[in-house]
Chains A and B, each alone.
Chain A
Amino acid sequence: MTQNILMSIDASMVDWARAQFAITAIYHWLFVPLTLGLALIMGIIETIYYRTGNVFWKDAAKFWQKLFGINFAMGVATGIILEFEFGTNWSNYSWFVGDIFGAPLAIEGIVAFFMESTFVAVMFFGWKKVSKGFHLAATWLTGLGATFSAWWILVANSWMQYPVGCEFNPDTMRNEMTSFADVAFSPFAVDKFCHTVTSAWIIGALFTVAVSAWYLLKNRERQLALQSIKVAAIVGLVSSLLAAVTGDHSAYTVAKVQPMKLAAMEALYDGSEGQSLTAIAWVNPFEQPQYEEGGEPPLHIGIPHMLAFMATHDFNGFVPGVNDIIRGGYVNAQGEMEPSLGEKMRKGRVAIEALGEYRKLKAELKGEPTARQKAALDEKASVIGDNMKYFGYGYIKDAEQTVPFIPLCFYTFRIMVGLGCLFILFFAVTLFFFYKKDITKIKWWKWTAIILLPLGYIASESGWLVAEFGRQPWTIQDMLPTWIGVSNLSSNAVMLTFFIFLVLFTILLAVEISILCKQIKKGPEYSK
């Protein structure tokens, strides 16, 4: 059975809840990378002012900080709506993740946000009130606060992809944290943080270069533009290279813990040893491919052995395809024989049945359990624990449900990587032109710089689409599918708020772009 994305958009609660979460997250992610990226740029520029004492750099820092402030103000609280959605649309999920989500989000809110807010005030209000050194520290701490925030949100998201450091409690129906360090520093979280932050730095660099290029096109603010291009292009080149390295490591981690996501990203139906990396292939963008038939997509151009190396760090390593993961019977990244989907479904059903029986036994208790009752409860709890790893598979009825929508994963991955490579080239060329030519006279470069800014956002959002669509159908990998995590609400309610958000966020975005453009047109204020 194939999925046709255009025909299967139905009014079910799950689809609208997913769409609403997606639109909220996508809009939120328009503001966050520029905050993180511009924080780095303005920190570097103010550091140059601190070291040189040249008031030009102070004026430059103040200009970029103003643009940072606009974006920061527009983006503030856009993420809170995601938390509202957890409690309303995703209530089973929200309860099930218990303290795992609560702790990182609490730390994010209390520590990181207050850190940002405090030092943002010093940054904007303190130029004439505090010493140069203190002001510089405040600027860096503002950026650090924002980055610290990102860490905790990404820890929460990483746990969804790779649930570690926890144990399920059948009494509270919650996953309870057994190791804070395992959650906070899981390899998935570390990879995700590094890759996300470096990609945000690219956005900051692209933004700075685009604004500067616009000034050069208009033949104004020449010195600001040139010096900002120099700083931003260096930041951009280093960030792009780091994003490539961290992206590669992310793929390695994904291969270990989310092999189906990797298979979807590659449109890999039947894996092999020494698997090639797909550079391009034709995958119908609107329909789930017939992966059950095996083979590879038409017009396939692969880079030999590269996927094997990315996934296993061995040019001849085995990378499972969609069908291999469904069939099982291969040695997985943990060195164990991968169970078949059928086996996982069986274990999941065992866990759910044991949970039902456990809760029934508990409900029948009158006071303290007898020794026999306690033994029965312990036995059920043990069965739940032994099979919890595949709990979510107990809800799966068909193999198709475990396969993400391959075309979207496939193309967004290529968009992200392709643009990432383009950015490396662009920043390298920019630096070459800056040092070896007269960049002010190269018109095609200026227009390229401007066009690359929206492409940077497309690359950034594509990365999140890969990450989140590739994890489907799981809200928590292998433990809770979307249709179980979702609340029993009418889809009409969710549909209404979906369109409210669409309008609200579009207005917010339009307001931000308008204020940003006005300030950019106004230009920096130079000290006398």
Chain B
Amino acid sequence: MRKKGFIYRVFDLYYDGFKHMTLGRTLWAVILVKLFIMFVILKLFFFPNFIKQNAPEGQEAEFVGQQLVDRSGE
């Protein structure tokens, strides 16, 4: 009998594994919900990149430099 190729065996490992998951389904559901909340809700709405939002493109160093120098007087 011909030995199955490496790529097939890798595919089979994952396919068979995911197909027969029991507890794993619950864990994957938690992971996916968690990732959705983090990347779609939190990142998009609550965690923008502050410097990208406030500094003109290519002027980030100037923006930070100004902050660091100005705040020394606060």
Residues of A at the B interface (CB closer than 8 Å) are 66, 69-70, 73-74, 76-77, 80-81, 84-85, 87-89, 91-92, 94-96, 121-122, 124-126, 129-130, 170-174, 349, 352, 355-356, 359, 363, 394-395, 483-484, 487-489, 493, 496-497, 500, 504, 508, 511, 515, 519
Among all A-B residue pairs, the 3 with the closest Cβ atoms: A125-B17, A91-B50, A73-B27
Residues in B neighbouring A87, C-beta threshold 8 A:
47-51
| B35 lies within 8 A of A124 (CB) | no
Interface centre among B12, B13, B35 (most CB of A within 10 A): B13
- The reply to whether B31 and A92 form a contact with Cβ atoms under 8 Å apart is no
Does B37 contact A92, Cβ atoms closer than 8 Å? no
Q: Please report the C-alpha to C-alpha distance between residue A172 and residue B63 in the assembled complex, in whole angstroms.
A: 11
**Contacting pair B13 A173 (CB below 8 A):** no
Query: Which chain A residues border B30 with CB–CB below 8 Å?
Result: 73-74, 508, 511
Chain A residues near B31 (CB-CB < 8 A): 73, 76-77
Of A129, A173, A504, which contacts B16 at CB under 8 A? A129
Q: Tell me if A172 and B61 are in contact (CB < 8 A).
A: yes
Which of B26, B42, B65, B74 is most buried by chain A, counting CB atoms within 10 A of its CB?
B65
Determine whether the beta carbon of A96 is less than 8 Å from that of B64.
Answer: yes
Secondary structure of the B side of the interface?
helix
Contact A349–B47 (Cβ < 8 Å): no
- Contacting residues, chain B, for A174 (C-beta < 8 A): 61
Q: Are B65 and A88 in contact (CB under 8 A)?
A: no
Q: Bound complex: CA of A80 vs CA of B49, how far in Å? A: 14
Q: Give chain B residues whose Cβ lies under 8 Å from the Cβ of A92.
A: 64, 67-68
Most A-side CB within 10 Å, residue of B30, B68, B72 = B68
Judge whether A91 and B51 touch: CB under 8 Å: yes
Tell me if B1 counts as interface (CB < 8 A to partner A): no
Interface residue? B7 (CB, 8 A) = no
The CB with the most chain B CB atoms within 10 A, among A125, A488, A497, A504, is that of A125
Tell whether, in the assembled complex, residue B69 and residue A356 are in contact, meaning their CB atoms are under 8 Å apart: yes
Partner of B69, one of A77, A84, A95, A355: A355
Verify B42–A129 contact, CB threshold 8 A. no
A497 touching B51 in the complex, CB below 8 Å, given contacts A124-B17, A173-B65, A504-B37: no
A207 and B35 CA atoms in complex are apart in Å by 27
On chain A, the residues within 8 Å of B23 by CB distance are: 66, 69-70, 515, 519
B40 within 8 A of A: no
Q: With the chains together, A381 CA to B37 CA distance in Å? A: 45
* B71 is an interface residue with CB less than 8 A from chain A: yes
Is the pair A129, B12 in contact by a Cβ cutoff of 8 Å?
yes
What chain A residues lie within 8 Å of B49 (beta carbons)? 87-88, 91
State A202–B42 Cα separation when bound (angstroms): 34
* List of B residues within 8 angstroms of A500 by Cβ: 42, 46
Q: Which B residues touch A171, using CB under 8 A?
A: 61
Q: Known contacts A129-B16, A170-B65; can you find 19 more A-B pairs with CB under 8 A?
A: A76-B31, A77-B34, A81-B42, A87-B51, A88-B50, A91-B51, A92-B67, A95-B51, A96-B68, A125-B16, A126-B13, A129-B12, A130-B13, A171-B61, A395-B71, A395-B72, A489-B50, A497-B42, A500-B46
A359 contacts which of B16, B46, B65 (Cβ < 8 Å)?
B65
A171→B37 CA distance, assembly (Å)? 38
B68-A484 in contact (CB<8A): yes
Nearest-Cβ distance from residue B32 to partner chain A, whole angstroms: 10
* Contact yes or no, A95 B16, CB < 8 A: no
B68–A352 contact, CB under 8 A?
Answer: yes
Q: Given the complex of chains A and B, what is the CA–CA distance between A77 and B72 in angstroms?
A: 36
Residues of chain A within 8 A (CB-CB) of B64 are 91-92, 95-96, 173
Shortest Cβ distance from B56 into chain A, in angstroms? 14
A-facing residues in B9-66 (Cβ within 8 Å): 9, 12-14, 16-18, 23-24, 26-28, 30-31, 34-35, 37-38, 42-43, 46-51, 60-62, 64-66
CB contacts (< 8 Å) of B67 on chain A: these are 92, 484, 488
Chain B residues with CB under 8 Å of A489's CB are 50
Q: How far is the CA of A444 from the CA of B4 in the complex (A)?
A: 56
29 contacts between A and B (CB under 8 A): A69-B23, A69-B24, A70-B23, A73-B30, A77-B38, A85-B47, A87-B50, A92-B67, A94-B51, A95-B51, A96-B68, A121-B17, A124-B17, A124-B24, A125-B13, A126-B13, A129-B9, A172-B61, A173-B61, A349-B72, A355-B69, A356-B69, A359-B62, A359-B66, A483-B71, A484-B67, A484-B71, A497-B46, A508-B34
Bound state CA distance, A521 and B35, in angstroms?
29
When C-beta atoms are compared, the residue in chain A nearest to B19 turns out to be: A125
Residue on B nearest A351 in the bound complex, by CB? B72
CB of A522, distance to nearest CB on chain B (Å): 9
Are B47 and A69 touching (Cβ within 8 A)? no
Contact of B14 among A73, A121, A504 (CB under 8 A): A121
**Cα(A253)–Cα(B47), bound, Å:** 35
Measured CA separation A511–B16 after assembly (Å): 27
Residues of chain A within 8 A (CB-CB) of B47 are 84-85, 87-88, 497
Nearest to A356 among chain B residues (CB) is B69
B8 CB → nearest A CB, Å: 12
Closest Cβ of chain B to A24, distance in Å, is 11
Q: Kindly provide the distance from the CB of A349 to the nearest chain B CB, expressed in whole angstroms.
A: 7
- Chain A residues with Cβ below 8 Å from B43 are 84
What is the CA–CA distance of A349 and B68 in the complex, to the nearest angstrom? 11
